[in-house]
Chain A
Amino acid sequence: MVLLQFLGRTGTVIDDLLNDFLAETAEILSEAGGALVAWEADPADRAQLDAIFRLVHTIKGSSGFLSLPRVTALSHAAEDALDQVRRGKREANSALVTGVLGIVDRLNILCAALGKDGVEPTGDDSDVIAALGEQAASTETRYEVAGVPLRRDDDFQAELQSWRSIRVPLPLLDSVMTGVTDIVLARNEFARMLRESGASATVIASFDRLSDSIAGMRQSVSQMRMQRIDKLFAPLPRIVRDLAQDMGKKIAFQTSGGEVELDREMMENIRDPLIHIVRNAIDHGIEALEDRVAAGKDITATISVSARQSGNQIEIEIRDDGRGMSPDALVAKAIASRAITAAEARALSPKDKLELVFRPGFSTAAKITEVSGRGVGMDIVKANVEKIGGVVELRNDEGRGLSILLRVPMTLTIISGLMVRAAGQYFAIPRGAVREILLENGDTVRIDRVGGGELAMVRGEQYPLLRLETVLGRAASDDDDIDDRALVIVRPGQGQSYALSVAAIHDHEELVIKPAAPMIMATGLYAGTTLPDNGRPVLLLDVQGLVAAAAIDATEAGRNHDQIVAAEAQANAARNAAQLLLFRDTNGRVRGVRLSVIERVEDVPASALFESAGRVQAQIGDDIFAVHAAKLPETEGSLKLLRLYDGHSVLCYPIAEVIDIVRLPDAVQPSAAPGLIAGVVLVGGDPVELIDPFWLMAQYAAGAAAPVPHQPLCRLADDHDGWGDNFLAPILRSAGYRVLSGSEDADEAPDVLLCLTEDGASCTHSGEEIPVIRLRSAIAATGPDDETVYRYDRQALLDALARRVGGGWA
């Protein structure tokens, strides 16, 4: 940032003004670059144009005041050109944008020089101004008046808003942060001394008050350091545009999540990795136009950068829809460059193959290009991100794109840490990486020694076990109590976990983390140092580094295969196991019924129940259902009905209340004779009568009138005397058939024809496809070949119907 270069030169008012101007201009220019590219993509976006105009206008205004003629002339030229567009006198095109971007670049150079020397360097800018002018000359013939109102008043509102905030040099902010951390550390030391001295309660109380306000201040300062991540995204559109143009690719670039805030120190550390990844995506990821067409993809490629906060971490995803990475190509390249041997390559998992890209000096580009094959590879990206405690993840979809995920902590300076003891000294573990803490001797933990290694089984999950003493190369301290030993389940990154065995868990504290000396960081075991309340330095463990140091594979994938299968089987078993609905009967007895036969529990008013044909029935909605009750309940108000459903019909069983749903015990004491109660089971030590839904439904099956999907249609033919309509039809209907008497017309063809007379003429010329049943009036059949059915033989008639067309309930 330009700002850093001129901080030493404060003193005069003009210097201060110049500093402010430079800081502001640097910010404006980076913003303008992004805005210009966005505007180029959508020249109709009036708001974007206005914003750019305002930015340039602001630079012109301030530079005029500071008498910087070159800056003024440049910004004036750009403002002029943009104003013509605003007035519709000039068309927005990529030539214009290129011209304005040229001016932005020149302004950047001037500002850098200004920051260094304090004076505007002499020089000639007529080239860039002329470039902008030439475009104007060539396009001026296309005079168009846009119907957009000029909104010059808006231009100055943004400037007014800037009064709500002030500009603070970053080093000043950093020194405030350092100061506050020192105060926190001094407070910790003071707190310890106060405890040791046995100070009076009043002293302690006022110290606590001081402590609280320091904590509040620390919080505010941490917030001051937070910046919106769109600052980080601002230069990207410009980079994408220029690069895409150079390489003849068409790329749509999107960012999202710009409102996510990140500590500015973190931001500095991921700026270069981010830019590098985006450049890589354009250079290597996105195919040439013809290749995209051949692959059946949209000619315009998409690169999107999105940020989101998840807990104490920020996730930044860079996704492209290019060709992705080819694991085999990576391997071939790694072998060619002798990074690995062919034998090693064969042992690599697909994920390992992708990770080859993080090897130092590895470049995926088939040929070194100007853009990204510069020896600065993904290894640097990974190193930079890991330096600040972050993780880089690859999600490859070969042929369809690559997405790279950067996961970084929101802030590193103050974290919540878990203090643990090992080899007689304390270490801190970032609380965010700790998933669970267990006592090593606890019931839920089993430790297996397998081929010299150790595994911890925690509730059926398997973790590689690291003993902190072993990783650190120390012996366990003699003072340690074996019962204190604890397992910390650590999750250093997505898809990784291991169990860290420590001598004891101490407590957790808010810790101010400072980087340790380079040779200590170089061990890869530590992420920094901290000073807790006791005043003795504590090392913060690098939970990711421990994995590498111990050379274990902490990836979770495939580790718990048997457990997964077992767990699935168990879950399936649990799902399949019958469940029992426990309820209290209307006469107060506790009974149970298999949950699966219950369709639902209805709450109905007592008045919905009525007695009909000696049976209690319930009206629920538009339906009438049989109720299992000898007489109408005498209760007023509402009552509960269990709706039993066997797939065809519904039976309601009145209950007083539902008690619980439990697993159906395996042991059932069956009752002696079939009846309502199938048997008795013990639930929680109490006997429960088990309802037999089979018996229950059998009692009411005949009377139940639930519709079946298809009811065959019977046509009554030759019903001359109405016998069919009056006597036969009700029987057929209650047996589940629809009946059509002779005189009625129907849209659909009948499934069966019932001829009520032995010689009915209408039956003879009916279609051949329709089966016919003839009824006779005589009881006796005329002979063995007589297929007619006696008209009062209900069973024979229904059987005949069922044989011919199926359906019915008989």
Chain B
Amino acid sequence: MMEKLYLIARIADTRVALRSRAINSVVTVGTPVEVPGAPPHVAGLFALRSRVFTLIDPHVVIGLPPVPVAPGQRVIVVDVADHGYALLADEIEDVCFIDAPETRVAGKLLPGWARVADAMIEHEGASLLVVDPSHFITLPVMKAA
């Protein structure tokens, strides 16, 4: 059943569905600690239960200008390659079962989204992009340059 469980959230101004098994938790953050010299999508560091997490701003990954972190903002905590990251979310909507099958991404997406989106899924009369959080961790090469 876990396969059908999705987190519906609005990240980088877009409603997306994230597969729940990829997600560690959803928490709120205070003011993160900046990392001077880091790539632009690194919004900072914050501590959670004795662990240090790297905060990622999905806006930058998609190609949008960065947004400031508001205290109390909710973030989606994911583990990638033994490191803890958190994706800044504009809004966390719901965790729900979606019975509909994941379908191939149809239509042309913006290059930023095309890179992170795995599939699409139908939910409550709307099409949502199914994204893999780990794709947000690394910046596309052209961005880093």
Which residue numbers of A lie inside 8 Å of B, CB to CB? 181-182, 185-186, 189, 423, 425, 472-474, 514-520, 523, 525-526, 529-531, 535-539, 549
CA separation between A182 and B49, bound complex, in Å? Answer: 9
Known: A531-B50, A539-B45. A523 touches B37 (CB 8 A): yes
Contact B37 A517, beta carbon cutoff 8 Å? no
CA separation between A530 and B36, bound complex, in Å? Answer: 16
Considering only residues 1-55 of chain B, those with a C-beta below 8 Å from chain A are 33-39, 42, 45-47, 50, 52, 54
> Shortest Cβ distance from B57 into chain A, in angstroms?
13
Contact A519 B45, beta carbon cutoff 8 Å? no
Contact A472 B37, beta carbon cutoff 8 Å? yes
Find chain A residues with CB under 8 A from B127 CB. Answer: none
11 cross-chain CB contacts under 8 A = A182-B50, A185-B50, A425-B33, A472-B36, A517-B137, A520-B35, A523-B38, A526-B35, A530-B52, A536-B47, A539-B33
CA separation between A514 and B54, bound complex, in Å? Answer: 13
Find chain A residues with CB under 8 A from B138 CB. Answer: 519
Interface presence of B108 (CB below 8 A): no
Find chain A residues with CB under 8 A from B39 CB. Answer: 519, 523
Contact of A537 (CB < 8 Å), options: B38, B52, B81: B52
> Shortest Cβ distance from B41 into chain A, in angstroms?
8
Contact B54 A516, beta carbon cutoff 8 Å? yes
Number of B residues near A (Cβ < 8 Å) is: 20
Closest B residue by C-beta to A530: B52
Given contacts A182-B50, A525-B36, 7 further A-B contacts (CB under 8 A): A473-B36, A516-B45, A518-B83, A520-B35, A525-B37, A531-B52, A549-B37
Contact B42 A520, beta carbon cutoff 8 Å? yes
Closest B residue by C-beta to A427: B36
CA separation between A798 and B15, bound complex, in Å? Answer: 122
Contact A537 B37, beta carbon cutoff 8 Å? no
Closest B residue by C-beta to A531: B47
Known: A535-B47, A538-B33, A539-B45. A520 touches B52 (CB 8 A): no
Which residue numbers of B lie inside 8 Å of A, CB to CB? 33-39, 42, 45-47, 50, 52, 54, 81, 83, 85, 137-139
Closest B residue by C-beta to A186: B50
> Shortest Cβ distance from B21 into chain A, in angstroms?
21
> Shortest Cβ distance from A459 into chain B, in angstroms?
31
* Interface residues of A, dominant DSSP: mixed
> Shortest Cβ distance from A709 into chain B, in angstroms?
75
Contact A425 B54, beta carbon cutoff 8 Å? no
Closest B residue by C-beta to A535: B47
Find chain A residues with CB under 8 A from B38 CB. Answer: 519-520, 523
Closest A residue by C-beta to B139: A519
> Shortest Cβ distance from B93 into chain A, in angstroms?
27
Contact A537 B33, beta carbon cutoff 8 Å? yes
CA separation between A185 and B47, bound complex, in Å? Answer: 10
CA separation between A151 and B54, bound complex, in Å? Answer: 62
Contact of B46 (CB < 8 Å), options: A515, A516, A537: A537
> Shortest Cβ distance from A537 into chain B, in angstroms?
4
Closest B residue by C-beta to A515: B83
Contact of A189 (CB < 8 Å), options: B35, B36, B50, B52: B50
Find chain B residues with CB under 8 A from A537 CB. Answer: 33, 45-47, 52
Contact A529 B52, beta carbon cutoff 8 Å? yes
Find chain B residues with CB under 8 A from A516 CB. Answer: 45, 52, 54
Find chain B residues with CB under 8 A from A523 CB. Answer: 35, 37-39
Per CB-CB distance, the 3 closest pairs between chain A and chain B, nearest first, are A472-B36, A185-B50, A537-B45
Closest A residue by C-beta to B39: A519
> Shortest Cβ distance from B53 into chain A, in angstroms?
8
CA separation between A683 and B36, bound complex, in Å? Answer: 58
Find chain B residues with CB under 8 A from A514 CB. Answer: 52
> Shortest Cβ distance from A543 into chain B, in angstroms?
15
Most buried by B among A472, A473, A517, A538: A517
Find chain B residues with CB under 8 A from A519 CB. Answer: 38-39, 42, 54, 137-139
Find chain B residues with CB under 8 A from A520 CB. Answer: 35, 38, 42, 54
CA separation between A523 and B39, bound complex, in Å? Answer: 8
Closest B residue by C-beta to A518: B83
CA separation between A505 and B39, bound complex, in Å? Answer: 27
CA separation between A515 and B137, bound complex, in Å? Answer: 16
CA separation between A771 and B45, bound complex, in Å? Answer: 101
CA separation between A549 and B38, bound complex, in Å? Answer: 13
> Shortest Cβ distance from B140 into chain A, in angstroms?
13
CA separation between A514 and B50, bound complex, in Å? Answer: 11
Find chain A residues with CB under 8 A from B137 CB. Answer: 517, 519
> Shortest Cβ distance from B10 into chain A, in angstroms?
24
> Shortest Cβ distance from A477 into chain B, in angstroms?
12
CA separation between A425 and B52, bound complex, in Å? Answer: 16
Find chain B residues with CB under 8 A from A186 CB. Answer: 50
Find chain B residues with CB under 8 A from A473 CB. Answer: 36-37
Contact of A423 (CB < 8 Å), options: B36, B47, B54, B81: B36
Contact A529 B37, beta carbon cutoff 8 Å? no
CA separation between A423 and B39, bound complex, in Å? Answer: 18
CA separation between A153 and B36, bound complex, in Å? Answer: 66
CA separation between A539 and B42, bound complex, in Å? Answer: 14
Find chain A residues with CB under 8 A from B45 CB. Answer: 516, 529, 537, 539
CA separation between A612 and B59, bound complex, in Å? Answer: 107
CA separation between A538 and B36, bound complex, in Å? Answer: 12
Find chain B residues with CB under 8 A from A518 CB. Answer: 81, 83
Closest A residue by C-beta to B46: A537
Closest B residue by C-beta to A423: B36
Contact B36 A517, beta carbon cutoff 8 Å? no
Closest B residue by C-beta to A539: B35
Most buried by A among B34, B38, B81, B139: B38
> Shortest Cβ distance from B61 into chain A, in angstroms?
12
Contact A425 B37, beta carbon cutoff 8 Å? no
> Shortest Cβ distance from A188 into chain B, in angstroms?
8
Contact B37 A536, beta carbon cutoff 8 Å? no
CA separation between A539 and B138, bound complex, in Å? Answer: 20
CA separation between A514 and B83, bound complex, in Å? Answer: 10
Most buried by B among A182, A514, A520, A526: A520
> Shortest Cβ distance from A527 into chain B, in angstroms?
13
> Shortest Cβ distance from A455 into chain B, in angstroms?
24
CA separation between A538 and B33, bound complex, in Å? Answer: 8
CA separation between A531 and B53, bound complex, in Å? Answer: 11
Find chain B residues with CB under 8 A from A189 CB. Answer: 50
CA separation between A269 and B50, bound complex, in Å? Answer: 26
CA separation between A525 and B33, bound complex, in Å? Answer: 15
CA separation between A537 and B35, bound complex, in Å? Answer: 10
CA separation between A186 and B45, bound complex, in Å? Answer: 18
Find chain A residues with CB under 8 A from B46 CB. Answer: 537
Find chain B residues with CB under 8 A from A472 CB. Answer: 36-37
CA separation between A474 and B47, bound complex, in Å? Answer: 23
Find chain A residues with CB under 8 A from B83 CB. Answer: 515, 517-518
CA separation between A525 and B139, bound complex, in Å? Answer: 19
CA separation between A296 and B109, bound complex, in Å? Answer: 73
> Shortest Cβ distance from B2 into chain A, in angstroms?
22
CA separation between A523 and B34, bound complex, in Å? Answer: 14
Closest A residue by C-beta to B81: A518
> Shortest Cβ distance from B20 into chain A, in angstroms?
23
